[in-house]
Amino acid sequence: QGNMTRVKINELKPLKPRFEVPDVLIAEPPTDLDFSLPGVEHVYGIPEHADDLKLKTTDGGDPYRLYNLDVFQYELYNPMALYGSIPVMLAHNTQRTMGIFWLNAAETWVDISSNTTGKNPQTDVRWISESGIIDVFIMLGPKPSDVFSQYASLTGTQSFPPLASLGYHQCRWNYNDQEDVKSVDQGFDQHDIPYDFIWLDIEHADGKRYFTWDPHKFPQPKEMLQGLMDKKRKMVAIVDPHIRVDSGYKIHNEITSKDFYVKNKDGRNYEGWCWPGNSGYPDFTKPEMRAWWASMFAYDQYEGSMENLFTWNDMNEPSVFNGPEVTMHKDALHGKWEHRDIHNIYGLYVQMATAEGQTRRSGGVERPFVLTRAFFAGSQRYGAVWTGDNAAEWDHLKISIPMCLSLGLVGVSFCGADVGGFFKNPSTELLVRWYQTGAYQPFFRAHAHLDTTRREPWLFGPENTALIREVIRQRYALLPYWYQLLYQAHKTGMPVMRPLWVDYPKDTIRLTHASYSFLFFFFFYFQVWYDVHTFQKHNGAQNLYIPVTLSSIPVFQRGGSIIPRKDRVRRSSTCMENDPYTLYVALSPKKFAEGELYIDDGHSFNYDTKKEFIHRSLTFANNALTSKYLFSPVEYCNIGKIMSCITAEMTSMSRFVWHANLLMISRTGKETPVDFEFDTSMSVLTLRKPGMNAGADWTLLLQ
């Protein structure tokens, strides 16, 4: 179909007796297929691995392993399996980009052999899965955006998250009780630091019985949630898929009565050891089980829950403390399927059912927010992913960038890493730098282990508190842009955080620096770039050495782009919903710029079901900034946003802008003069309160 080919080989024959190989049991023969990629030196994808973005050859070493596992303090630069598995590989050279989607949820290994000598490089890839059939999609591109679109047509695009979930999240294992939550919430106000979500880990539940609250530590959960709601803030509580075996626990009793637990091979309920002790594991492969699980998020079922309570699915690889490799036995049964056949998709089904529950509790009106640790191809449809239990070490900070880039290439745009590191205690410098990195990753959450010292942003002295406050405020100022990028990912499959070669596919030097993204790099190519803090101009085609202090973050806007912001930062994103937008217009060498502005209510499905949104095309050309609709306009009375406008880099116009008139021309042709300021030293033109409605056509003319 189009530039995509499917190869499916289904051999209906009984499995031969199993035989042992090191560390695994496999069926003979395994499912495997080889691919040769002539002309290809660079391959990417197959997350999750704590490794460089560009996949290495595995000649003489271990293959990359795809097998969802609860890994304790994982190793870096290692092909070992981690928490999630997406069997998708992208191959790229300056002529074309293509992809391979190996649709198999069993344990899988990927061997890579590259010959980069001579004029005709080639990469050979072997896929080997323990069980299942050969079912593979070859996505022929030829452009990176084509591959993203082709893959999205198979597995779906990134879910469109609520705007608030793009703000800052404060988490640790565990906030002790309601008073602790209240104190932390007040601390953010006292130190003028915005945030949107505070999180509760496993200790909040009564004996780690999920869907409950500890009656001593959290006796009035609705009172706690209402206090957050009064400040337009939200909470996330953890709900894991291991269920305490307890005859007094409603959730366990209902799963037992409905026969929804995974089974042993002898037909009894499979039980393993996890946080609550002896636990059963719901069979999320059953649609009936997923529907029942979703129903448990209804307000009359999940006692103490409110509309500002969202969910975190952890330990869903699934984690079984006394199981092989801390996971479920491969001969456990999901109906007629062995666990070995579906292992890597289990976590996806948990997140799917949870997201459905959040949606159903609102009657299908409100968008869900669900974070998952385990994932598979298609998990992007149900929420966010994080990189798991990292450590407070500089190398773990560094590896978070290629890990998120890799996830973005295979559809998971809403990703991030635990700011500060989950294990161990970070130095103050490391913590500040991690905030400065995390603020420019899609999912922005600080998290820490139970045994670490407290890390609220104001506990490291006034100077460091100011640095952390500043970068969180930068995040909030850019929320309109983050939201727009997630909308584009939702509509097109284009990753939010992406390596340079995605936007410059024909440039060989960008392949050398493949792990740099549009949010993290210091190489300027054939363009004009502007420091977003100072508006200083940097010409392209150069390596630039920029002095960096602990208070500076090198972030640049590309000449030729228009980026929307909200520069009035308040205590949460919802508190900012009626504030004006600011457009930052950075001109190209040809004095041209373009961008978009997307606005909706930030939380419901009305953008889709009722087409209630504003989506504008913004263009600066011929001394005029123009706003036009990208889609047929609809009546959207709740959004009549007024914008201010900052236009950066007007050097070529300085000789007459200084004496110029600025007119705002409405759709009806009415002309209104606009006041402005012009900084001759930086050639920056600033317009304040020009009275431009975000949902209307208008032109701002420089005469």
Cβ neighbours for 509, distance < 8 A, ≥ 6 positions apart: 523, 525
Question: Using 50, 70 and 90 to split pLDDT, how confident is the model at 358?
Answer: very high
Share of the chain above pLDDT 90, in %: 79
Residue-wise pLDDT tens digits, 598-639: 999 999 999 999 999 999 999 999 999 999 998 765 555 445
Nearest to 339 by CA among 360, 325, 356: 325
Share of the chain above pLDDT 70, in %: 90
HSE toward the beta carbon, residue 202, CA cutoff 13 A:
17
Residue-wise pLDDT tens digits, 468-524: 999 999 999 999 999 999 999 999 999 999 999 999 998 876 565 555 554 433 456
| C-alpha dist (Å) from residue 319 to 54, 316, 418, 521, 693 | 29, 6, 20, 37, 52
CA gap 212, 226 in Å, rounded:
17
Locate all alpha helices (DSSP H) within 142-203, ordered by sequence: 144-155, 178-190
Residue-wise pLDDT tens digits, 197-241: 999 999 999 999 999 999 999 999 999 999 999 999 999 999 999
Residue 492 is which amino acid?
T
Q: Which of 112-116, 237-241, 272-276, 457-461 has the lowest mean pLDDT?
A: 112-116
| C-alpha dist (Å) from residue 320 to 242, 256, 449, 523, 588 | 9, 19, 19, 45, 55
Domains of the chain (ranges; CATH) run 4-155 (2.60.40.1760), 165-237+289-317+343-492 (3.20.20.80), 522-702 (2.60.40.1180)
Question: Using 50, 70 and 90 to split pLDDT, how confident is the model at 260?
Answer: very high
CA gap 445, 165 in Å, rounded:
10
Give the pLDDT confidence score for residue 142 in this predicted structure.
Answer: 98
Higher pLDDT, 20 or 577: 577
| pLDDT exceeds 50 at position 381 | yes
Give the pLDDT confidence score for residue 526 in this predicted structure.
Answer: 58
Beta strands in 420-520 (DSSP E): 444-446
Residue-wise pLDDT tens digits, 95-125: 999 999 999 999 999 999 998 777 789 999 9
Give the pLDDT confidence score for residue 540 in this predicted structure.
Answer: 79
Cβ neighbours for 281, distance < 8 A, ≥ 6 positions apart: 241, 242, 243, 261, 262, 270, 271, 272, 318, 320, 328, 332
Full DSSP string of 296-344:
TTSTTTSTT--TTEEEEE-STTTB-TTSGGGB--TT-EETTEEHHHHGG
Cα angle, residue 287 at apex, residues 282 and 288 outer, rounded to 5°: 75
CA gap 218, 178 in Å, rounded:
5
397: how many CB neighbours lie within 10 A of its CB? 23
Give the pLDDT confidence score for residue 523 in this predicted structure.
Answer: 53
For residue 643, the surrounding DSSP H or E stretch is: strand 642-648
Question: Using 50, 70 and 90 to split pLDDT, how confident is the model at 15?
Answer: very low
Give the pLDDT confidence score for residue 634 in this predicted structure.
Answer: 56
Residue 424 is which amino acid?
K
* pLDDT mean over 49-55: 98
| pLDDT exceeds 70 at position 452 | yes
Give the pLDDT confidence score for residue 518 in this predicted structure.
Answer: 47
Question: Using 50, 70 and 90 to split pLDDT, how confident is the model at 57?
Answer: very high
The residues carrying an active-site annotation are 314, 389
